[in-house]
Amino acid sequence: MNKDFTLSKYRSLLVAFQQAGYRFIPFGDYCRIAQDPTGDLHAIEPFVMLRHDVDLRGANSLHTAKMEHELGIRATYYFRVIPQSNQPVIIRAIALLGHEIGYHYEDMSIADGNVDKALEHFGKWLTYFRGFYPVATICMHGAPTSRYDGRDLWKTKSYRDFGIIGEPYFDVDFDRVFYLTDTGREWDGFRVSVRDKVKQQEEWTRQGRTFHTTDHIISCLKDGTYRNKIGNAVMVTTHPQRWTDQPLQWTQEYVAQSAKNIVKRLLLWAKGY
C-alpha cells in the first residue's frame, strides 16, 4: 500500500520541489522582501514559502525540521500555547536548526471574544515565544469548532504595533502566490475547511489547478506540468502531526481527521456554505 502523509513521502515532496528548481524560504523572508521598496520577489523565483502549523504532537515537528535541515531548507514553524504544541525543548531545538519560529495565535477563542483580554493574552504569549526566537510573523489557528475567528482581533488593532511584519492571511498576495495546504489531511481539503482557505481556491478548482494527494503533486513536479498549474510562487502549509512513519500514529491521525472532516462539513452546512 502506497500510504500518503508519511515522513518518507514528505521527503519525496521536498526533493521534488528542489529538483524542479524551487528554492525554499521562511515566511518572514518573503515579508521582508515584499515590504522593502527595493525588494524584488521575482529575483528569487521560483520559490516555496514552507509553513508548518504545529497544532498537536509537537515532537513530530522536530522530525520534519531535522529532515528539512538535512536538505538545506529553512521553514517557518507556528506554535500554539497548548502543551501538545508548546514544548520548550522542541521549540528551542527547531530554532537552533535555523528555522523561523512564530506564534500560532487563537487569543479570541481563549478570551471568549473579549478583545481587550485577547490582546493582553496575545502580548503575553508573543513575549514568551520571543524567548526562543525573535518572532516577527504570526498565523491564526483555525479553531474550526470555535465561534471566534482569530483574525477578528485585528479589526480594530494592528499586529504591527507588536513588531509583527506578517500574517499569512493578510500579507500574502494569493492572486500571485499559489496556496497548498494539507488541512483536512487532503491537499484539496479546503472544501471542508472552516478557516484555513483563501478565496482564490474556488477559481483554481474550476481551472483544474488543484491536487488531492502528495503523489499527484510530486508527479506534476517531475513531468514539468506543476509550473503551469501554480506558477513561480507557492505557500505550502503542513501540519506535522499528520506526517509520520509510525503505523499506529498514522492510523490514529487518519481516523481522527476523517471524523473531524465530517464535523467540519456539518459546521459548514449549518452556516449555509
Tens digit of each residue's pLDDT (9 = 90 or more) over 229-266: 888 999 999 999 999 999 899 888 888 877 775 665 55
Q: Which of 158, 198, 160 is nearest to 181 (CA)?
A: 198
203/87: higher pLDDT: 87
| CATH, domain 7-270, list 2.90.10, 3.20.20, 1.20.120, 3.30.1380 | 3.20.20
| 132 torsion bin: left (phi>0), alpha (psi -120 to 50), beta (else) | alpha
Question: What is residue 227's predicted lDDT score, i.e. its pLDDT?
Answer: 81
* CA nearest to 84, candidates 55, 63, 62: 55
Lowest-confidence region among 1-5, 28-32, 121-125, 149-153: 1-5
| H/E run at residue 28 | helix 27-35
pLDDT at residue 263, as a whole number: 64
Rounded to 5 degrees, what angle do the CA atoms 198, 202, 203 make? 110
Beta strands at 233-238 and 47-54: parallel, antiparallel or unpaired: parallel
pTM: 0.93
pLDDT digits 0-9 by tens, 166-198: 999 999 999 999 999 998 899 998 776 667 788
Does pLDDT of 204 surpass 80? Answer: yes
Give the start-to-end residue ranges of the domains of the chain. Answer: 7-270
Question: Phi and psi of 189, rounded to 5°?
Answer: -75, -5
H or E, element range at 65: helix 58-70
Alpha helices in 71-114 (DSSP H): 88-96, 107-110
pLDDT score, position 114: 97
pLDDT tens column, 20-71: 999 999 999 999 999 999 999 999 999 999 999 999 999 999 999 999 999 9
Q: In which residue are the cell numbers 475547511 written?
A: 193
pLDDT for res 100:
98
User: From residue 29, how far is each of 12, 96, 218 by CA, in Å?
Assistant: 24, 17, 25
- pLDDT > 90: what percent of the chain? 75
